[in-house]
């Protein structure tokens, strides 16, 4: 059997690179996000799906419901699949959180958050592994960080440590993982999280500025002089 894991459709928040780690906020798909579901209809075995899993977030639940149709399979909501808790960065541009993350590391919890980046990734991965408890084929609708981690692991060069920033995950493009492969992939990632992870700062005393590149990485670190300031070209297009 197979588990198909995908990111929810686009929202006005995600289009503007604003972070939302609070499921109580009613953030739903925008028109582009709803239209993009057509891609999944051509790549998912919708008529044979036995189990549908989703996070508690409205955008993930909406994506799942629109894909399911009525009637279709069993819908299971699992809080382990929720987006990362961003604490005081809630509703802010991702770049603000990224600068904090670059400075403090993946093992530190942001102010007001209940988890660090690494703790959040671990939570999500345990939710993915738990999907095997349900009959397949399965469709799991989660968030960008989870899909980004899985895609990175699939393309990972031998010996490369888990990075602080991952390539941005596409919307509504399923990552298909066979039941035999899923435990191995998740276990490898959990082993990474058990190891000590150190993020190296830019050398020679220069400040590090994080830039978002449209259509590329969510954020990359550039070594620049402390006098450099961000301008509009450093930010994604809204």
Rg (CA), the chain: 18
pLDDT at 209: 45
Residue 94 included in any domain: yes
Residue 222 included in any domain: no
pLDDT at 72: 53
> Against a cut of 0.85, is the pTM above it?
no
Residue 49 included in any domain: yes
Task: Compute the distance between CA of residue 182 and CA of residue 123 in angstroms, rounded to an integer.
Answer: 16
Mean pLDDT in each 10-residue stretch from start to end of the chain (238 residues)?
A: 97 97 97 92 88 96 88 81 98 97 96 97 98 96 97 92 94 96 95 65 39 45 38 37
Residue 205 included in any domain: no
pLDDT at 75: 86
Total count of domains within the chain: 1
pLDDT at 194: 86
Residue 11 included in any domain: yes
Structural domain boundaries, residue 179: 2-194
pLDDT at 39: 82
Q: With contact defined as beta carbons under 8 Å apart, do 141 and 55 qualify?
A: yes
Task: Compute the distance between CA of residue 121 and CA of residue 83 in angstroms, rounded to an integer.
Answer: 9
Residue 95 included in any domain: yes
pLDDT at 189: 95
| CB burial readout 67-80, b (16+ within 10 A) else e | bbeeebbeebbbeb
pLDDT at 162: 92
Q: Specify the CATH number for the domain of residue 157.
A: 3.40.50.1240
Residue 108 included in any domain: yes
Three-state DSSP class for residue 21? coil
Residue 24 included in any domain: yes
């Amino acid at each position: 059997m197979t588990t198909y894991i995908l990111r929810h459709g686009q929202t006005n928040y995600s289009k503007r690179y604003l972070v939302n780690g609070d499921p109580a906020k009613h953030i739903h798909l925008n028109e582009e996000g709803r239209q993009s579901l057509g891609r999944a209809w051509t790549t998912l075995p919708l008529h044979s799906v036995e189990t549908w899993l989703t996070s508690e977030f409205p955008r993930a639940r909406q994506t799942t419901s629109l894909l399911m149709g009525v009637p279709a399979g069993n819908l299971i909501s699992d809080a382990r699949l929720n987006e990362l808790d961003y604490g005081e960065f809630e509703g802010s541009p991702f770049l603000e959180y990224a600068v904090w993350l670059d400075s403090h590391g993946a093992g530190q919890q942001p102010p007001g958050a209940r988890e660090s980046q690494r703790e959040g990734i671990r939570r999500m991965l345990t939710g993915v592994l738990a999907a095997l408890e349900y009959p397949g084929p399965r469709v799991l609708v989660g968030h960008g960080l989870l899909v980004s981690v899985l895609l990175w692991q699939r393309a990972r060069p031998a010996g490369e440590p888990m990075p602080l920033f991952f390539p941005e995950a596409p919307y509504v493009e399923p990552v298909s993982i066979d039941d035999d492969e899923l435990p191995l992939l998740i276990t490898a990632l959990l082993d990474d999280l058990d190891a000590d992870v150190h993020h190296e700062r830019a050398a020679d005393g220069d400040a590090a500025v994080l830039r978002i590149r449209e259509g590329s990485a969510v954020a990359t670190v550039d070594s620049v002089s402390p006098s450099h300031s961000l301008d509009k070209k450093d930010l994604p297009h809204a």
